[in-house]
Amino acid sequence: MVRLNRTRMDYLEEFQALIDAYNAGSLNAEAFFQQLVAFAQHLNEEERRGLGEQLDEEELALFDLLTKPQIDLNDADRDKVKATARELLAQLKAGKLVLDWRQRQQARAQVRVTIEKLLDLGLPRAYTPELFEEKTSAVFQHVYDAYYGAGRSVYAQDA
């Protein structure tokens, strides 16, 4: 889950803290099991969240990058961010994430410009210039890390 959506890093940290507490002897087996069951329920809720947001795993990763930490958005703005995430993925996949795009400076620049343009057009006014720059960089880094080019990505490997 963390590999597909880096905003879920807190789940990995929570799991590691559970293991560390058990290994340190501060949790007995029964308490560890109860906390592990509760943790698994949180994971199941997180897996279902994409369905509730009506986003697939790739779109949800972009949406999370654009909205976390919590940004004050109304329902219309949230829908606008979702639509922007969908459109951005579609445009990038349609011709920007070509074979070896990460190795060629011009191809990387085209991806960055596409991200900037679409986010500029699609994000609501709640995104200040500083927040916009932060989100643009985060989205570019995510795309760089997750999409290898020519249809290969961390998402395609799970299929």
50 and 60 Cβ atoms separated by less than 8 Å: yes
CA-to-CA distance for 131 and 123, rounded, in angstroms? 11
Is the same domain home to 39 and 68?
no
A 10 A CB-CB count for 138 gives 18
Q: Quick one: which of 37, 84, 42 has its CA closest to 59? A: 84
Q: How confident is the model at residue 126 (pLDDT cuts 50, 70, 90)?
A: very high
- Judge if 89 and 77 occupy the same domain: yes
Instruction: Provide the pLDDT for residue 149.
Output: 84
| Closest to 115 in 3D by CA, of 145, 135, 94, 131 | 135
Q: Find the distance separating the first CA and the last CA of the chain, reported in whole Å.
A: 14
pTM of the entire predicted model = 0.81
Q: Which domain holds residue 43?
A: 6-53
Tokens 């889950």, located at residue: 1
Mean pLDDT computed over 6-32:
87
**Element holding 147 (H helix, E strand):** strand 147-149
Residue type, 112: R
**Chain segment 37-51, per-residue pLDDT in tens:** 998 888 888 888 888
Q: Are residues 26 and 94 in the same domain?
A: no
Query: In whole numbers, what is the pLDDT of the chain averaged over residues?
Result: 90
Final residue of a domain: which of 33, 53, 73?
53
Better-scored residue on pLDDT, 117 or 52: 117
Residue 61 lies in a domain: yes
Q: What is the pLDDT of residues 78-125, one digit of tens each?
A: 999 999 999 999 999 998 998 889 999 999 999 999 999 999 999 999
Please report the beta strands in the chain, taking only residues with DSSP state E, as ranges in sequence order.
147-149, 152-153
